[in-house]
Structure 1
Amino acid sequence: MDDYDARLVELYDGDNPDGADHEFYRQVADEIDARAILDLGCGTGILTVTFARAARTVVGIDPSPNMLAYATNRANGRSVRWMLGDSRDIPAEPFDCAVMTGNVAQHIPDSDWERTLRDISEALRDDGVLAFESRNPQARAWEKWAGAEPTLRDTVNGPLREWYDVNETEPGQIVLTAHNRLEDTGEQITEQLTLAFRERQLIEQQLREAGFVVEGVWSDWNRTPSTDGSPIMVFETHRVGSTTAA
């Protein structure tokens, strides 16, 4: 997929409103009195702009031009430094806190994932915090997506019918094809995503190898310890110093 369709980007905030997840990430940043925050995979910036305050630097990075265009033009958009790219484009300045939200970690392919963790580690100060969430593969969320009936709803672009095709290409790798049909025009927008469902033990190992200590893995936004059946895994970590990972 080259980019998200701008008409679907307009719907993102309504489908993913500010809530308990955003409050958790704001709390993580406030608990360490973060003065520089990195939001990697910031999307439309709905959370990113709420980090902004006096004497705090906020950087939002995303590979989608349409997402960033929306973020830049939102209220308070000028309070954030927006950058097009991925972890390789993180500016050379130390950050106190980094977040990856909206399950963005699952959108990063295995070939780039470990490099992404190393890039974030190098961008953080010693004891800097990294927090992110990922769906628990043990809960097999993709099976619910595959079995869901098409839905129809009203949007700013008229009635929209939506449904999914799901293909497990290999263990932990899910290709999700999202079908979106604008009923007034008959136009169909198809977007294909590859999502990586990584096991908790693997993610913890990769974090350690990138120079992080895992402080907790939570099953919700209230820091309830994760279990094998938890739908999500919320990772809260901190950097322990320079890493020698290759």
Structure 2
Amino acid sequence: MESIIKHDLPSDTHSVDTPTKAAKNECLLGRPPHPQEPDFDINWPQFLREILDASGQVHEHNDTCYKKTPFSMNSLSPEDCDRLCRFNYPIDLVPESFMDENGKISLKRGNERVVGYNPTISGSFQCNTDLKFVGSGIFGFAVSLYMTLYAAKSDLSSAVIMSALSAATKALEKYGPLSDDEERCRKLLLKTLNQISARRELSGQQVACALLGIGNHVTDARFAVFHWSKLLSWISIAEFPPYAKPTQDISSM
């Protein structure tokens, strides 16, 4: 396990002084040293160190560390920042790996702020990682549950957002017809919804299901695609003018 998960920085390396974020991220766009190069053993440790620094593998406190506390980072002293960090950094150093009475394995740790990583994965993919051993017992159950919830979490669907938008519009209509300003606000909210739907992040499971055409749920019911706006405009453009095309003349229908 010590050969797979590391909690210290490569030996005989140094941090590169990069004044700007753009300069710091330059190394993330480069090609890793090739293993067959004659000086690979010399260049690889320093290359890996720069990747770890640029990808945030060495934990630095930020507002996310305290989002579940009533305190802001700017109001805390350095000692309080370490004490209240919800990620529990810095972590006590571990001279040698050991297993406690509950079966939890504590791997060797030479740096109190380095997040667990694998040198090959970090150097090849050049990104931030958080490697942990998932065993049995209470700790293993907790980590397994966390990973399951993280991978299977679902975002707010467009149907739910549209339902909330519709309810808000109906609440406005109780006070009379919508004014021009209110109508513009309604259209702005609708465009915002469309942007949210277009830019929402998809999990790997959702993408795989879409590419394989297997759907994202299991049911014995059958559904058909229903173009609601086209149906309303076909019924009566005069009754549903928001769905009319700009080139259509309502008075001639």
Q: TM-score range by the shorter chain?
A: under 0.3
Greater C-alpha Rg = 2
Greater fraction of residues in strand: 1
- TM-score normalised by the chain length of structure 1: 0.21
